[in-house]
Chain A
Amino acid sequence: MNKDSKEHMLKSLRENLRFDGRRLSDFREISLELGVSDSAEGSARVRIGDTEVIAGVKLGVESPYPDTPDQGNLIVGTELLPIANPAFEPGPPGTESIEISRVVDRGIRESKVIDIKALCITPGEKVWAVNIDICSINDSGNLIDCAALATVAAIKDTVFPEFDGESVDYKKKSSKRLPLAKSRMPVTVTVVKIGEHLIVDPGFEEEAAIDARLTVASTAEGVICSMQKGGDKAISTEDVSSMIDLALLKAREISKVVERA
């Protein structure tokens, strides 16, 4: 972003006003839809304003990782599809996509929302693998919070296919749901610092002006389960403290949207 535009943005932020008319701590409208792809075992579409993400869960039976023989495998991938943003190109995941995958993965893993031991079929031999794929449809800013929200919605939607001990029958859905601890459902909120101002849910123009950001995943009980600092400016302890406060406040609002779905 050029210097004049940033100056203009800072001036309006001082008056608690953003380019699209929001106040600093306002999210855009969030909508959430479950079961948007019936070829997946679970799926969800989340829109935050114009930003749109679809997440899908595929379940499969695999051998466990050698260091966790009694746990299921959890894999999160992000496809920043070129339909979503003129700057996204086809090809293997870049750093932005990998960061989203890893931050979402940590939120799910460290919140322990999925009972990963219950995904073990035969220790050391067979476990369920939970493959979560995040696909961007439109990027109008804040893909990371949108991706994290679509992921928790998709795991909530997930139903096991039939498994007879040998092979998985993807055509038949069982009545068994993914083993989830509802109170530990993580909600991810990114707080962005532009100048001395803290905002949430940046649009794509605001993302271009970011000095620093802090992504915080927390559970409904208010436990912080993962964090990621981004941006190329450093932040103070006081910044961290107020960013976390704002993230937790917003997470409480958003968790109500997840509960309703």
Chain B
Amino acid sequence: MGYDKRFDGRRADQMREIEARVGVIPRADGSAYFRIGRTIAYAAVYGPRNLYPRFLQDPSKGILRCRYNMMPFSGSGERVRPGGNRRSKEISMVTENALMPVLNLDDFPNAVVDVFIELPQTDSGTRCAGICAASMALADAGISMRDLVTSVSVGKVGSSLLVDLTYDEEAYEDEPVSDVPVAILPRTGQISLLQMDGEIEKDELIRLLDMAKKACWGIYEVQKAALKERFNCVKAD
């Protein structure tokens, strides 16, 4: 018996329920809330603003700085100790790389754009939810962008190729599992985040990327709707 029926009854290519809102943190220059199933991400953008200490400054362009953080009570088991660890540092770095291709910070030499991602509740797919929230928050902050960034995890449980794995699916014990978080730039279909752990054949990976792309176009519509909702009070004269 393979894993052919998902625990929560979803189709193989079906994401969990998504909720997105923009402008949720009034003090921030831009902010967003993104929920996929039980995973919740807040993102806030501050900047472009002065960057100190000065040796970090780049006189040719502004820099992007991301911080991914789980709240202490957001893990499914014991309390997560506050402060960074190796995992959160790496996720912060790949988040920067996932967002950078759509940003143009040439007009902000020596400045920084800070993106803070905070998770109050998690059930896998946290870096992807963080990236979705962050790209909406950057748009809300009015940073010039070529595109939004959309992100979802895909993977293989047993012999089934699936979109948007939950914690229970990632922890499936009876069969091998592989997990592939992906970020897609929806207008061009290009990939700005790709990680993978587990075992997978090359042609399966290509099929998974195709599934991720289709799912991301769905996310893109939700992101756009949330941004339009935020600014629908602004009417042209």
User: Which residues of chain A have a CB within 8 Å of any CB of chain B?
Assistant: 36-41, 43, 50, 52, 54, 56-58, 60, 77, 79, 81-86, 90-92, 131, 133, 135, 137-140, 168, 170-171, 204
From known contacts A39-B121, A133-B82, A138-B25, infer whether A86 and B46 are also in contact, taking CB-CB under 8 Å: yes
Q: 12 interchain pairs (CB within 8 A)?
A: A37-B73, A37-B120, A38-B38, A40-B121, A50-B27, A54-B120, A56-B120, A81-B71, A82-B114, A83-B25, A138-B27, A168-B78
Whether B95 sits at the interface, judged by CB under 8 Å, is: no
B26 engages A140 (CB within 8 Å): yes
Across chains A and B, the number of contacting residue pairs, with CB separation under 8 Å, is: 105
Q: Cβ of A37 and Cβ of B27 under 8 Å apart?
A: no
B78 touches A170 (CB 8 A): yes
A40 to B75, CA, bound (A): 8
**Given A58-B72, A82-B114, 10 new contacts (CB under 8 A):** A37-B71, A39-B121, A40-B121, A43-B73, A50-B27, A56-B120, A83-B42, A90-B67, A138-B28, A140-B26
**Closest chain B residue to A49, Cβ basis:** B26
Chain A residue numbers with a CB within 8 Å of B118 are: 81, 83, 135, 137
A194 CB, nearest partner CB in chain B, Å: 21
Of the residues B26, B27, B79, contact of A133 by C-beta under 8 Å? B79
> Does A56 contact B27, Cβ atoms closer than 8 Å?
no
What residues of chain B have their CB less than 8 Å away from a CB belonging to chain A? Answer: 24-28, 31, 38, 40, 42-44, 46, 49, 67, 69, 71-79, 82-84, 114, 116, 118, 120-123
Q: Which residues of A contact B43 (CB under 8 A)?
A: 83
Which residue of chain B has its CB nearest to the CB of A86? B46
Cβ–Cβ < 8 Å partners of B42 in chain A: 83, 137
Question: A83-B118, A137-B25 known; A57 and B73 CB under 8 Å?
Answer: yes
Q: Which residues of B contact A140 (CB under 8 A)?
A: 26-27
Q: How far is the CB of B55 from chain A (nearest CB, A)?
A: 17
Is B76 touching A39 in the complex (CB atoms < 8 A)?
yes
- Interface secondary structure of B, over-half rule: loop
B121: chain A residues at CB < 8 Å are 36-40
Contact of A39 among B26, B69, B74, B116 (CB under 8 A): B74
Once the chains bind, are A83 and B71 in contact (CB under 8 Å)?
no
A17 to B84, CA, bound (A): 44
The 8 Å CB contact of A77, one of B25, B38, B82, B84, is: B82
Instruction: Give, as a whole number of angstroms, the nearest-CB distance from B127 to chain A.
Output: 17
* Docked-complex contact B72 and A39, CB < 8 angstroms: no
* Interchain nearest-CB distance for B99 vs A (Å): 16
Inter-chain contact A79/B72, CB cutoff 8 Å: yes
Decide: A56 and B69 in contact? CB cutoff 8 A: no
CA distance A91 to B84 in the complex (A): 8
- Find chain B residues with CB under 8 A from A83 CB: 25, 28, 31, 42-44, 116, 118
* Cα–Cα distance between A170 and B40 once the two chains are bound (Å): 19
Query: In the bound complex, what is the Cα–Cα distance between A82 and B44 (angstroms)?
Result: 8
Taken together as a complex, chains A and B put the C-alpha atoms of A133 and B76 apart, in Å, by 15
A204 to B72, CA, bound (A): 26
CB pair B120 A50 closer than 8 Å: no
Separation of A131 and B77 alpha carbons in the complex (Å): 13
Q: Is the CB of B76 within 8 A of A77?
A: no
CB contacts (< 8 Å) of A133 on chain B: these are 71-73, 79, 82
